[in-house]
Structure 1
Amino acid sequence: MAIVSALHEELAAVLALMPDEQQKVVGGRTFWHGHLHGQEVVAVLSGIGKVAAATTATALIERFGVRRIVFTGVAGGLAAGVRVGDVVVARHFLQHDMDASPIFPRHEVPGYGRSTFEADADLTARLARACEQVLGDMPAQLDAETLRSFSIGAPSCHEGLLISGDRFVSTTAESRALCDALPDALAVEMEGAAFAQVCHDYGVPLAVVRTISDRADDAAHVDFPRFLREVASRYSSAIIETLLRMT
């Protein structure tokens, strides 16, 4: 299994669980190969954006022979009810900035005849179960000041469409435009759809979970480093550990 994180703080939390990791540098990226709960794993940072994500996914498959990939990261919530501190487990993915019109319909990926790529149903179902289990206990694991600062109450797990693009969405106008164009979208980030396309090409199962750090609007400029350190990294390590215990 490959365990991929978008940001260093999240990966560090996962690496802390691995007793025997060894480093290997491929394509300018450091991959950690070892074991977690008795399973052979490769852990790596994805890099930011779709090109970096696609390169990382390809290296995992071609150089390390991974047979399934689990991605953890943060995202901006779009759909009503997707709140800070919730998680989104992707069922399918779309590039919101893909536009080869008028030759192809907006959002369709040229050469594929489709705009969306699917997550692996079985691996995603297990990941969702792990998330539900972790979220039930997580508020008790966070201190009262953290919960108050980020207005986290009873976090929920949402499943559905995750959209990706090569820009950080952080204004209400952008968020509303995405909701109007893609009303089924739950959250927005910068890597998931690229991983999904590469995994589709190679036939490798993929599951993605994103912790909601903001609402992708004018209030999105929260204390992001603190959120990563005190919330997202704890989510990531707990979810991955729970998933591996279930597998």
Structure 2
Amino acid sequence: MIAVFFALSQEAAALKSHVNILKKIRYSHATFYQAEFCGFPITLVQSGVGKNVSEIIHHLSKYFKIQLMVSSGFAGSVNPRIGVGDLVIGKHVLHSLREVTEEEICIDATLPCDASAVELAVKLGSTDSLKLHCGDILSIDKIIQHSSLKKHIGNQTSAIAVDMESFAIAERANAMGIPFVVVRAISDGVDEDMEICENMVTKGGRVKISATARYLFNKPHRIPYLNRLRRQTRQATNALSAFFPNFITQIYNSLLA
């Protein structure tokens, strides 16, 4: 079975519309959608934002034999060549134990993505109308809010994009001996600030209406920014939605071969 991990409900929507959901399971703050796609079993995991996913994977593995873990959803670009709506496929996932600042960035750990899954993703992406990039992903514990820091990350590391969940998933997959790959879409460009807060999203990955309303009440000049972000996340969702059906089919064909 393939398990695809998303932090946010909006990210999970990229695949939910393509699959037949058989069962919805809640565990802690996470939601598992047990489903099938063209007769193939698949589980969508809405895990919430950040690195606290290890226990969720442990629970999931009690009930399902996982053959591939996919970290998906949105990512921020740290490379001027990579724009909103582009797909990024991870070669390696990088992680820093220290807070990332505009000083020297120390990479404390690096985990590889499954080479065959990466190769297949790149091959499929090159035949679609999607713009796809393959490179390293830096996974950190906080939202990168300032474009200057994104540019610094791009200049100081091999990363082409940043997210908040992939290393925790990769670390658990590596410990369990399960192949792993990152497939994400860019929701914010390298030249754009991300002026949102983690407390605007629930642990389960849903938008907090009250917190967002308070934010806009106190900072009404940010309304155009949030409208732009909503358009850009829709572009990212559409890119993932276009890519995944063929990828899932081809992955299962290779697993069964």
TM bucket, shorter chain: 0.7 to 0.9
SS class of match (1:21): strand
Q: How far apart in 2 are the matches of 1:82 and 1:19?
A: 33
Task: Give, in whole Å, the separation in 2 of the partners of 1:16 and 1:158.
Answer: 25
Within the alignment, does 1:193 sit opposite 2:187 as a pair?
no
Contact 1:169 1:217 in 2 (8 A): no
* Correspondence for 2:144: 169
- Match among 131, 135, 153 for residue 178 of structure 1: 153
2:248 corresponds to? 244
Q: Which residue of 2 aligns with 1:54?
A: 54
CA distance in 1 between counterparts of 2:244 and 2:58 reads 22
Q: Which amino acid aligns with 1:90?
A: G
Change (3 A) 1:70 1:77: same
Cα distance in 1, alignment partners of residues 242 and 152 from structure 2: 34
1:17-73 deviation line (CA, Å, top 9, x unaligned): 22242112223322111211111111111310112x333333333443312112221
Output the CA distance in 2 between the equivalents of 1:96 and 1:176. 17
Report the number of matched residues. Answer: 214
Structure-1 residue corresponding to 2:118: 124
What is the Cα deviation at residue 218 of structure 1? 4.4
- CA gap of 1:215–1:186, structure 2 versus 1, over 3 A, is same
Structure 1 residues 24 and 220 mapped into 2: Cα distance closer, same or farther (>3 Å)? closer
> Are the structure 2 counterparts of residues 9 and 64 from structure 1 closer, same or farther at C-alpha, using a change threshold of 3 Å?
same
Q: Give the 3 Å change call, closer, same or farther, for CA 77–60 of structure 1 in structure 2.
A: same
Aligned residue for 1:209? Answer: 183
- 1:157 — aligned with what? 132
Distance 2:115 2:85 in 1: 24
- Where 1:25 maps in the other structure, the secondary structure is strand
CA shift digits 1:79-119 (9 cap, x unpaired):
231122211100100113447xxxxx9432xxxxxx20010
Match of 1:85 in 2: 85
Is the alpha carbon distance of 1:20 and 1:193 closer, same or farther for their aligned partners in structure 2, counting shifts above 3 Å?
A: closer
Residue identity in the other structure for 2:119: A
Indicate conservation of the 8 Å contact 1:22/1:32, yes or no: yes
1:228, CA displacement in angstroms? 2.3
User: Does the aligned pair in 2 maintain the 1:61–1:67 contact within 8 Å?
Assistant: no
Cα RMSD, aligned residues only: 2.2
3-state DSSP class of the match of 1:41?
A: strand
Residue in structure 2 matched with residue 225 of structure 1 by the alignment = 230
Structure 1 unmatched runs, 5+:
100-104, 109-114, 137-154
**Which is further off, 5-14 or 155-164?**
5-14
- 2:20 aligns to what SS in structure 1? coil
Where 2:71 maps in the other structure, the secondary structure is: strand
Partner of 2:206: none
Query: Of the two structures, which has the highest relative contact order with CA contacts closer than 8 Å and spacing of 6 or more?
Result: 1
**TM (normalized to structure 2)?**
0.75
| Percent of aligned positions that are identical | 25
Q: How far, CA to CA, are the matches of 1:70 and 1:162 in structure 2?
A: 13
Alignment deviations for residues 212-234 of structure 1 (CA, whole Å, 9 cap, x no partner):
122244444552223223x1222
Q: Is the 8 A contact 1:37 1:244 kept in 2?
A: no
Structure 2: give runs of 5+ residues left out of the alignment: 100-104, 196-224, 252-257
**In structure 2, how many angstroms separate the alpha carbons of the residues matched to 1:55 and 1:170?**
28
Tell me which residue corresponds to 1:44.
Answer: 45
